[in-house]
Amino acid sequence: MKRTTRTRLTRGILYAVLLGLVVAAGGAADWAAIRENFFDTEVMRQLWPDIVTVAAKNTLIYTILAFSGGLALSLLLALMKLSPVAPYRWIATAYIEFFRGLPALLVIILFAFAVPIAFGWIPPGGTIGAGVLALVVVSAAYLAETVRAGIQAVPKGQVEAARSLGMNGTWTMVSVVLPQALRIVIPPLTNEFVLLLKDSSLLAIIGASASERELTTFSRDSLTSLSNGTPLIAAAIMYLIITLPLTRVVARLERRTLRSR
Amino acid sequence: MTTSQMTTSEPAIEVHNLYKAFGDNEVLKGIDFDVNPGQVVCVIGPSGSGKSTLLRCVNRLEEPTSGQIVIEGIDITDPETDIDEVRSRIGMVFQQFNLFPHLNVLRNLTIAQQRVKRRGKDEAIDIARKNLEKVGLADREDAYPAHLSGGQQQRVAIARALSMDPDMMLFDEPTSALDPELVGDVLEVMKQLATEGMTMMVVTHEMGFAREVGDRLVFMDDGVIVEDGDPKEVLGNPQQERTQLFLSKVL
């Protein structure tokens, strides 16, 4: 048998197996039940427009708040981690290891329920505010490592050039290193944003008023009240509408960085 | 000895008994050396001889292990010295140019003027344009470094250093990263600076430049200064065996 014939035959078998599996799965599935329970147009209509104007909007607001807060805190942590003063490094390392080692869900519950009791302090925004704060604290731990890597990726010659012009350490960091570092980490930061957007669904563990609900809380509540799985599919579509373009953007940015090197 | 003006004032750069080690690796083993105002001193030597390290110690980009470095009478090895202030009077040009890639040419030249010299924006821009003209790149002030050739980048780097009105300039193999056809433009700018009386310390492999422009030539090998004298003497009639060996390989 010729090599090309053999390749063609193997490929043919692979397609046949795939087709068989699809047909088998399609035959076994109860299409009527699936349509009724997950793709009910009447239920879809009931979810509209709140799923966009309340749920998706809140998901985005919580994510953006948590991300900007987390980014600011992570910058501080990254600078501490690179500090010549050892205790700052220890604190930053301890913080990062601690919050990366914990499940985000646990931290959210801690912030929403335990912290107010322990400290008699209710964060702005109430329980949901506490949940978002927990996301800030957790995402900062992840972002800090990314930001630190970005800072260290700026060539040493840049610092030397700035210092040899007489700029002090702070000016060098602010006007030479950080602008370049942030450019380097835009693709990984966008990735972190997508991860955080999905993690905002963990806020569903917290009770929220109707106007505070994000996508997952909204769809779970609708699932209960309507006794139908369609809200889950609707929420999934909303998440994908937001995340898919972002991951495309990351892919584009990464290709561009590769080219410019 | 020296061809340029020998003033009676204190030396621009004085180095006393300088040692520098990276871990167990001793790179400088007791350097004594000085540069007078207006002098152009070229430093040559095989790679690993410590010439770049010596240059980088002069503005304390490298921390000396021991010894003393005095710039215009100020001991910069004294931890009390405001090193940033001294550095703003020493221009430095790197082998890899090290322009700021996120800033355009003009901003590369103004940023330190504004941040360090506290000059107003308009004044900084005027000075920057004057220096860009001097290096022949007045028309490229809006370009970003990535869009310039290596030779242009290095000339911008020289203009950036000059914009701080330095009393002296340090060059760390300024033409080693350039394509051969671009070396000339950079050397031309450096030559012009030398003619204007700038104090210069140049680590280089350009023997032609050293011979033509240099007032003094220092040959370093294995962390010590082996020979130090008139460039034509050192190149034409080296006294030390190590100098002869090195020159026989590069000339």
Q: For chain B, which residues score pLDDT lower than 70?
A: 1-9
| Distance (Å, whole) CA A188 – CA A196 | 12
Residue A150 lies in a domain: yes
pLDDT at B98: 96
Residue A195 lies in a domain: yes
CA-based nearest residue to A44, from A243, A240, A215, A219: A219
Q: Please identify which residue in the block is written with the tokens 């990726």.
A: A153
Instruction: Determine how many CB atoms are found less than 10 A away from the CB of residue A27.
Output: 8
- What are the distances in angstroms from CA B204 to CA A65, A71, B171, B186? 54, 45, 8, 12
Pairing of strands B66-71, B13-22: antiparallel
Residue A44 lies in a domain: yes
Q: From the centroid of its chain, how far is CA A14?
A: 36
Alpha helices in A82-120 (DSSP H): 86-101, 104-109, 115-119
Q: Which residues of B touch A159 (CB under 8 A)?
A: none
Residue A5 lies in a domain: no
Q: Which residues of B touch A260 (CB under 8 A)?
A: 146
Residue A28 lies in a domain: no
Are A131 and A108 in contact by the 8 Å Cβ rule? The answer is yes
**Do the Cβ atoms of B100 and A162 come within 8 Å?**
yes
Q: Please give the backbone phi and psi of residue B18, each rounded to the nearest 5 degrees, phi first.
A: -85, 130
- The alpha carbon of residue A97 is apart from the nearest alpha carbon of chain B, in Å, by 31
Pairing of strands B40-44, B216-221: parallel
pLDDT at A36: 87
pLDDT at B8: 54
pLDDT at A256 over 80: no
Mean pLDDT within A19-25: 93
Mean pLDDT within A211-220: 92
pLDDT at A29: 86
Residue A66 lies in a domain: yes
| Distance (Å, whole) CA A148 – CA A158 | 16
Which residue of B lies nearest to A176 if distances are taken between CA atoms?
B100
pLDDT at A232 over 50: yes
Q: What is the ipTM of this complex?
A: 0.91
Q: Please identify which residue in the block is written with the tokens 């433009």.
A: B185
**Do the Cβ atoms of A164 and B59 come within 8 Å?**
yes
pLDDT at A47: 85
CA-based nearest residue to B53, from B6, B96, B18, B7: B18
Integer distance in angstroms from the first to the last C-alpha of chain A?
46
Residue A7 lies in a domain: no
Residue A127 lies in a domain: yes
| A163, A179, A260 ranked by CB distance to B87: nearest | A163
| Domain span at A61 | 36-260
CATH number at residue A117: 1.10.3720.10
Are A151 and A178 in contact by the 8 Å Cβ rule? The answer is yes
Q: Which residues of A touch B116 (CB under 8 A)?
A: 165-167, 171
CA angle A116, A111, A238 (to 5 degrees): 130
| Distance (Å, whole) CA A139 – CA B183 | 50
Question: What totals of helices (H) and strands (E) does chain A contain, helices first?
Answer: 14, 0
* Domains in chain A, number: 1
Please give the residue that has the higher pLDDT: either A49 or A121: A49
**β-strand partners of B171:** B93, B202
pLDDT at A261 over 50: no
